[in-house]
A = this chain, B = another copy of it.
């Protein structure tokens, strides 16, 4: 007989509109719903999971926005917020998953989710590394850093690489991948504490606190007197503009995130955008969901690095589903140090 339990949820209360900053009021914690811990008879290819760790990411802002052409629309007011996470399979009618499996992929901000997985759920092959790593390092953020650096940025040994939001989930890994390739790597972050992590823990050659720099152009010239080969952009705005002014000939800008711009209606103007022509600069955006076929190759490689200690990783953990809204909102204020995640349950 199937058990019925309370299923705490974080619902989207209303869309985050263009120009609006995300607030906790966009979401709502509901503790009155229940769920039967069994895939319904009629669902021939579904899994029922217990959510363990949920990822908080800037792209959640797009997920919680009113649908528009070109964006990946996933959310609906009144329903739980969709997001990536790590979960344990409770019941399954899907041939690739069985009860007891650990999985990561697209789930929802709630204690239990009924998922109809397409290409958005991966079985976790390694349980001898912390499972929470699959919300970031070994999940979408890790794959983003891997694809964005190796596939999109066309890196070469010895090149000079600049990473913004460098202590974040993606940035810390991009910097380490670049160091592994023999690049010179500089990161920017928003506090001295983060800057210290970049240099002491992640092995960046240099790092600076952008909030203490009155002139970003001057800061970049200090660290890159001969210019930047690759700018891995997680923030956009004034930093992107300053970087454009400091790119070398044939420099590449990998546009991974634009967190400084997501709450604006119009992306800020860029004084240096015209330099893309004389400097033959390439700006390349990418969506990691187009590269999911590379996941297993990536997982093999990075699990090995983690076990060897070659790659370091920093998490910023919040306890309890009820902490999810504030954790998400805090991303846009730079509150997290390292990969932000929420523990719903540990087993």
Contact = CB atoms under 8 A, between A and B. Distances in A.
Contact of A269 (B256, B267, B277, B286): B267
B277 A283 contact: no
A265 B282 CA distance: 22
Contacts of A328: none
A262 interface: yes
A287 to B, nearest CB: 5
A70 interface: yes
A283 B276 contact: yes
A127 interface: no
Number of identical protomers: 2
Given A279-B287, A285-B281, A285-B282, A270 B266 contact: yes
A236 B270 CA distance: 12
A287 B278 contact: yes
A126 B224 CA distance: 47
Given A267-B274, A271-B267, A282 B280 contact: no
B62 A278 contact: yes
Contacts of A274: 236, 258, 261-262, 267
A70 B279 contact: yes
Q: Is the interface of A mostly helix, strand, loop or mixed?
A: loop
A283 B282 contact: yes
Given A70-B245, A282-B282, A283-B283, A277 B265 contact: no
A287 B274 CA distance: 12
A71 interface: yes
Contacts of A256: 277
B271 A265 contact: yes
B287 A258 contact: no
Nearest to A69: B245
A183 B280 CA distance: 25
A252 to B, nearest CB: 10
Contact of A266 (B70, B236, B257, B271): B271
B245 A278 contact: no
A290 interface: yes
Given A267-B274, A271-B265, A271-B266, A290 B284 contact: no
Contact of A287 (B69, B280, B285, B290): B280
A145 to B, nearest CB: 14
Given A69-B245, A70-B245, A277-B286, A269 B266 contact: yes
A215 to B, nearest CB: 15
Interface of A: 62, 69-72, 236, 245, 249, 255-258, 261-262, 265-287, 290
What 10 A-B pairs have minimum CB-CB distances, sorted nearest first? A276-B285, A267-B273, A283-B283, A269-B269, A277-B285, A266-B269, A266-B271, A282-B284, A70-B275, A280-B286
17 contacts: A70-B275, A70-B278, A70-B279, A236-B274, A255-B276, A255-B277, A257-B277, A258-B274, A261-B274, A267-B269, A267-B270, A267-B271, A276-B283, A276-B285, A278-B287, A282-B283, A282-B285
